[in-house]
């Protein structure tokens, strides 16, 4: 389980997180929905230990990434907001590099890399250098890097940005499959339809704290709205920074 407890984080005078609390259980897709600047990326970076909260804690199976970063990295896969690829490496080499970082090398490493290449239908690009890769091809490499060590938890920051319909579908199918295998999946988005289509649970974040939480149906019930889009707008109080 991923747990975020009373997280507070400021950058100078800007309060990015203001007492954020929620959890993302195993076998569920949890969507962190909020307008631009709501604090989603700051929250995710804190969970995987790239940022330290001012107060509060973020735990993976009870472990704080600031206390035991190696243990947390073993348990999670990260699809970050900015993924840089090594342009001179092939897709296979990049994925193998991440497998090695997680202690998967030799035959078991090669097998894990090949498995994820097959799962993401990357055969045609596996042995090409990343230079010239399309956005969708880059997304697949980043996703493969995130899941090659079969993490129990997967955290994705705006995963479908810049993707076409086919790539988005591949991504969604994979997330559902991993969810069904028991992975806890937490992803951020400011796109309502994406959250509505994928999530078992939605955590609506505004101004660094939880504005509402529940299944899409529960959020509609809580707000007395029939459409999720209207429910979100009512919860956040504006549709600024949210995309349909
Ligand atoms: N390193 C930083 N230095 C200064 N301010 C920051 C920093 N990182 C985030 N912020 C500020 O904290 C607030 C929350 O930013 P954050 O990136 O977490 O929001 P977000 O919900 O991910 O937004 P978006 O959907 O636009 O990516 C914003 O006001 C942002 O400008």
Q: Give the ligand 1 atom nearest the CA of 43.
A: 18
- Kindly tell me the sign of the dihedral angle through the C-alpha atoms of 118, 109, 142, 194: positive
pTM: 0.90
ipTM of the prediction: 0.96
The whole-angstrom separation of Cα 27 and Cα 30 is 10
Q: Return the residue whose CA atom lies nearest to atom 25 of ligand 1.
A: 36
Query: Ligand 1: distance of its center to the CA of 40 in Å?
Result: 8
Q: Is 118 exposed, middle or buried (0-12, 13-18, 19+ CB in 10 A)?
A: exposed
The whole-angstrom separation of Cα 97 and Cα 206 is 37
- Domain 2-82+152-236 classification at class level: alpha beta
In the prediction, which pLDDT does 239 show? Answer: 62
The whole-angstrom separation of Cα 147 and Cα 120 is 11
Q: Return the residue whose CA atom lies nearest to atom 6 of ligand 1.
A: 11
Q: How many CA atoms lie within 13 A of 191 on its CB side?
A: 13
In the prediction, which pLDDT does 60 show? Answer: 96
Ligand 1 in contact with 14 (CB < 6 A)? yes
Q: What is the pLDDT along the chain (244 residues), one digit of tens a residue?
A: 999 999 999 999 999 999 999 999 999 999 999 888 899 999 999 998 889 999 999 999 999 988 888 889 889 999 987 878 899 999 999 999 999 988 888 899 999 999 999 999 899 999 999 999 998 899 899 999 999 999 999 999 988 877 788 888 888 999 999 999 999 999 998 888 888 889 999 999 999 999 999 998 899 999 999 888 888 888 887 666 556 6
- Kindly tell me the sign of the dihedral angle through the C-alpha atoms of 112, 182, 49, 73: negative
Ligand 1 in contact with 42 (CB < 6 A)? yes
Q: Return the residue whose CA atom lies nearest to atom 17 of ligand 1.
A: 41
User: For the CA atoms of 215, 190, 84, 13, what is the dihedral angle to 10 degrees?
Assistant: -110
Q: Give the ligand 1 atom nearest the CA of 17.
A: 14
* Mutational pocket test of ligand 1: of 42, 160, 203, the residue with most ligand atoms within 8 Å of the beta carbon: 42
Query: Ligand 1: distance of its center to the CA of 36 in Å?
Result: 8
């Amino acid at each position: 389980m991923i747990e975020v407890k009373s997280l507070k984080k400021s950058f100078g005078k800007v309060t990015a997180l203001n007492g954020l609390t929620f959890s993302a259980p195993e076998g569920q897709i949890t969507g962190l929905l909020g307008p631009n600047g709501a604090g989603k990326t700051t929250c995710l970076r804190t969970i995987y230990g790239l940022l330290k909260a001012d107060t509060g804690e973020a735990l993976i199976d009870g472990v704080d990434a600031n206390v035991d970063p190696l243990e947390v990295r073993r348990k999670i896969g990260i699809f970050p907001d900015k993924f840089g690829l090594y342009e001179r490496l092939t897709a296979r080499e990049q994925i193998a590099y991440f497998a090695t970082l997680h202690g998967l090398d030799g035959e078991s490493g090669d097998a894990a890399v090949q498995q994820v290449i097959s799962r993401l239908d990357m055969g045609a690009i596996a042995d090409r250098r990343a230079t010239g890769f399309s956005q969708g091809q880059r997304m697949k490499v980043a996703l493969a890097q995130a899941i090659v060590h079969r993490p129990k938890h997967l955290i994705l920051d705006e995963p479908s940005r810049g993707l076409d319909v086919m790539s988005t579908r591949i991504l969604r199918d994979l997330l559902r499959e991993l969810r069904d295998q028991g992975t806890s999946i937490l992803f951020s988005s400011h796109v309502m339809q994406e959250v509505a289509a994928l999530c078992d649970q939605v955590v609506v974040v505004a101004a660094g704290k939880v504005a509402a939480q529940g299944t899409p149906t529960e959020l509609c019930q809580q707000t007395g709205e029939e459409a999720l889009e209207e429910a979100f707008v009512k919860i956040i109080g504006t549709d600024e920074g949210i995309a349909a």
